[in-house]
Structure 1
Amino acid sequence: MNVTSSTVEAITVIEASGSIDSKTAPEFERTAIAAIQGQKEVIIDLTNVEFLSSAGLRVLLMIYRQVKTQSGKVVLVGTSEEIQDIMANTGFLSFFITVDTLDEGVKTLKAS
């Protein structure tokens, strides 16, 4: 798994690739939590994530809660149908705004 953070139009973007499971979730968590400190607009790009375990879901929930304490929003980009199904079945999908592309994510946050 690889995790990077960047800024696009003053929005923090966290991009992950590979699998987010019990072995890789701690790295995902460290990178993401450090990147979102004090941020109100966050995009998590999961376009290249092949698998998301319960450990990955836990990290997404931590990110959501931290951003929400700032009265912010989290947008998920490029979630596969499988990941969306998992998130819908666990009730997690309702916490996030989901879009297909990074450009849509930026537009969504800028419009709100």
Structure 2
Amino acid sequence: MKISIIEREQASIIKIESNQMLGYEAQDFHDAIHNSLEKNKKKIVIDLSNLQFISSWGIGILIHGYTTVNNKEGNFILAAVPDIVNDSLKKTKLDTVFSKYGSVDEALNA
């Protein structure tokens, strides 16, 4: 999975460049989160706009990221969540756990 990171003053935007989140890419995702937290970024925005599919492992990656950021008293926010991914989150009731915004800009301004 290709990931890009954009640093802002108090936030990191982690963009999932791939169209699938399957699970084998967990280490790259976790490294991006830990690197952002080490830079004292308290808001971690995950840009999911490119995703067309997320597996149960991919959902597990998001849960682990959420837990990691919350344990450091940060905010883990999903942005630009495609309908197909949002459907998976609803089926697992995780849509009530994650903070979600329609765009990265909305998430940054929250």
Settle same-fold status: TM greater than 0.5.
Answer: yes
2:79 & 2:36 partners in 1: Cα distance? 17
Q: Percent identity among equivalent residues?
A: 22
Larger mean CA deviation between 15-24 and 50-59 belongs to 15-24
Map 1:40-79 onto structure 2 (within 5 A).
40-79=42-81
1:9 & 1:47 partners in 2: Cα distance? 22
Q: In the alignment, which residue of structure 1 is the partner of 2:29?
A: 28
RMSD: 1.7
Q: CA contact under 8 A between 2:10 and 2:41: conserved in structure 1?
A: no
Confirm whether residue 99 of structure 1 aligns to residue 104 of structure 2. Answer: no
* Equivalent residue pairs, number: 108
Structure 1 gap segments, 5+ residues each: none
Q: In the alignment, which residue of structure 2 is the partner of 1:6?
A: 6
Q: In the alignment, which residue of structure 2 is the partner of 1:17?
A: 17
- Higher strand proportion, which one? 1
Structure 2 gap segments, 5+ residues each: none
Q: CA contact under 8 A between 1:11 and 1:106: conserved in structure 2?
A: yes
Q: CA contact under 8 A between 1:20 and 1:28: conserved in structure 2?
A: no
